[in-house]
Amino acid sequence: MLFNSLDFIFFFPIAVVVYYLFPHKHRWAWLLGCSYYFYMQWDVTLVFLLIASTLIDYALGIKMHRTAHKQRRKWYLMLSVLANVGMLFFFKYLGFFSESVSQIMAYFGQVDTNTVTASTSAYGNILLPVGISFYTFQTLSYSIDIYRGKIEPEHHLGKYALYVAFFPQLVAGPIERASRLLPQFHKKIEIDIEAIRKGIILMSWGFFLKMVVADRLGVYVDYAHGNPAGTPGIPLFLAMYFFGFQIYYDFSAYSIIAVGAAKVLGFDLMNNFNRPFFSTSAAQFWQRWHRSLMHWLRDYLYRPLVRDFKLKAFLAVFVVFFINGLWHGANWTFVVWGVLCGLFLLFEQGTNKLRNRILDKSPIPISKHIRQFLWGFVTLHYLAFTMIFFRSSSIYNALVYIKSMFDIRAFYFNITNDIVEIIISILLILLVQAIHFYKGNDKIYELFSSKKIAIRWSLYVVCIAAMVLLAFNRQNSFIYFQF
């Protein structure tokens, strides 16, 4: 079920009203039922995978906690990691790996092209369960935290199942930690009108970002990526930046709807974005972009690599970004994207002193703020460029796009033959960025906190009118659903 679908418009109010009517003791059951129903709207059978993952980690978590034997604890952890990563590998990466291996072997003449095609079609039809990358990472963090002694296992199977399947964040995060979310399922939640109001405003803001801004930008981006050789030059530059904003608004829309929906139900989820486009460096950008994933990679991959496996920091960064790319999708385009991002971060860290020394020699003194601004400018343009790989369906298509991009023959950009839409898109980007600058990604409700009723209601009506008149009625999926 998509957030931006008619089904969700009916589902969510019913879920909320019945939830608050239920006695506190049994609310988990209602929410779990809603979550499974929500998930089953994609494919009924996939819920069994979710249940299997839940049962495995629930059982292993308890066993791990009960035994004092260090080696046995390690075995239980390995079993949990194997189960989760194995599931992820089978459903998401098996086809990709078998195809890649066959292609490499074909390249060296070990197999013929028919074998490559056979291997592609043999695994290519495995259905990718929606949200598998998100919930396996969530369950993995649960097992690792128990192993590390950071948390106690959850003994209530229903509440643990709810932690894995909680519908607002099930299919595209934020990837929540057990230490943060599970205790909330035990707390008695009273109706808090202010929290519900904030939640509804956050959800509405998310719908606005998705339907009015991201989907609008997507029209131009799809057009440019559909035929880059046919629209060379400036339009491809514009589409490159538009895609940067599209994916940001699309994903942050999902995250903010998830945060808002959870808030309406009385729960707090982490904010996945914190003004990433105002970052002054790549390091800062990755602390602000998809924070729940980046924190996960930091805590469960980077730190163990450096601390336990004694890997050099720069190699660990490289591994983290390689995995970050691969996590996004079973395609070399994502791997290249991840590697390019990692290399830039290493470059940034490696040249920090050198860059400052060069700028120190400048005849005009350059203040710290200007330096930060300039480097932030370079960083964001570079990251927008790497996104070409993220958006393209193959490395070849990405290279065609890049080649066509620099084939500037004339000044034109109106490839969609709709100048009004392009102007609206740019104005909306400016508006949203200004709002994010002043209110952050998650404090949008402060805009509606004026004491004067006339101002407050005028703002509500203007927002509703903007939503009704400007929204694209595409009901298309959020980009991050595919991951």
Active site residue 290: no
Would you report the helix, strand and coil content of the chain in percent, each value rounded to 5?
Answer: 75, 0, 25
Nearer to another protein, 142 or 445 (CB): 445
Q: State in angstroms the smallest separation of the CB of 271 from another protein.
A: 24
Nearer to another protein, 193 or 354 (CB): 193
Nearer to another protein, 227 or 356 (CB): 227
Of residues 158-217, which lie at the interface with another protein (CB under 8 A)? 191, 193-194, 196-197, 200, 216
Question: What would the x/- binding string for another protein be over residues 402 to 441, using CB under 8 A?
Answer: ------------------x---------------------
Nearer to another protein, 78 or 455 (CB): 455
**Options 328, 369, 381, 436, the catalytic residue:** 328
Report the chain's terminal Cα–Cα distance, integer Å.
16
Amino acid at 135: Y
Neighbour-count burial of 140, counting CB atoms closer than 10 A to its CB (0-12 exposed, 13-18 middle, 19+ buried):
buried
Angle between helices 132-147 and 157-165 (to 10 degrees): 130
Q: How far apart are CA 70 and CA 54, in angstroms?
A: 24
Of residues 442-471, which lie at the interface with another protein (CB under 8 A)? 460-461, 464-465, 467-471
Of 350, 360, 474, 482, which one interacts with another protein (CB under 8 A)?
A: 474
Q: How far apart are CA 261 and CA 169, in angstroms?
A: 9
Neighbour-count burial of 9, counting CB atoms closer than 10 A to its CB (0-12 exposed, 13-18 middle, 19+ buried):
exposed
Nearer to another protein, 278 or 472 (CB): 472
Q: How far apart are CA 172 and CA 258, in angstroms?
A: 9
Q: Are 232 and 407 in contact (CB under 8 A)?
A: yes
For 245, the token pair is 């904003």
Nearer to another protein, 120 or 349 (CB): 120
For 441, the token pair is 């990604």
Of 124, 149, 183, 350, which one interacts with another protein (CB under 8 A)?
A: 124
Neighbour-count burial of 273, counting CB atoms closer than 10 A to its CB (0-12 exposed, 13-18 middle, 19+ buried):
buried
Q: What does the buried/exposed string (b/e) look like for 81-103 if buried means 16 or more CB atoms within 10 Å of the residue's CB?
A: bebbeebbeebbbbbbebbbebe
Position 21 contacts another protein (CB under 8 A): no
Q: How far apart are CA 33 and CA 124, in angstroms?
A: 32
Angle between helices 157-165 and 27-40 (to 10 degrees): 40
Of 387, 437, 434, give the one whose Cα is nearest residue 275: 437
Q: State in angstroms the smallest separation of the CB of 264 from another protein.
A: 11
Q: State in angstroms the smallest separation of the CB of 191 from another protein.
A: 6
Measure Cα distances from 213 to 108, 210, 413, 478 in Å.
47, 6, 19, 13
Q: State in angstroms the smallest separation of the CB of 472 from another protein.
A: 6
Q: State in angstroms the smallest separation of the CB of 336 from another protein.
A: 24
Of 247, 238, 240, give the one whose Cα is nearest residue 419: 238
Of residues 84-123, which lie at the interface with another protein (CB under 8 A)? 121
Q: State in angstroms the smallest separation of the CB of 126 from another protein.
A: 11
Of 71, 114, 125, 367, which one interacts with another protein (CB under 8 A)?
A: 125
Nearer to another protein, 71 or 417 (CB): 417
Nearer to another protein, 266 or 338 (CB): 266
CB within 8 Å of 447: residues ≥ 6 apart: 435, 439, 459
Question: Annotated catalytic sites, by residue?
Answer: 328
Residues found near another protein in the complex (CB under 8 A): 6, 121, 124-125, 191, 193-194, 196-197, 200, 216, 420, 460-461, 464-465, 467-475
